[in-house]
Amino acid sequence: MDQILEKYMPLAEGEEIISQIEGDAYNTSSNVIMRFIAIFMRIIAIITGST
C-alpha cells in the first residue's frame, strides 16, 4: 500500500500516515449472497448503461 501512496499521492515533508483503511468500492458486506447480488446488479447496470 505504501508504494501506491508514494506514487500517486506523496506526503509532504513532515507528514506521516497515522491510520489507513482498505475496502471494496462496490460492496462492504462479507455476506456471500449479498456479494453475488451486488455483482449481478453491477453487470445489469453496465449492460443498461446506467453507470
Q: Tell me which of 44 and 3 has the higher pLDDT.
A: 44
Dihedral sign from CA coordinates of 31, 33, 39, 45? negative
Tens-digit pLDDT profile for residues 7-45? 887 888 888 888 877 766 665 667 788 888 888 999 999
Residue 42 CB coordination number (10 Å): 13
Backbone angles phi, psi at 27, to 5 degrees: -155, 130
**Per-residue pLDDT at 47:** 93
Integer angstrom CA distances of residue 44 from 2, 13, 37, 47: 35, 46, 11, 5
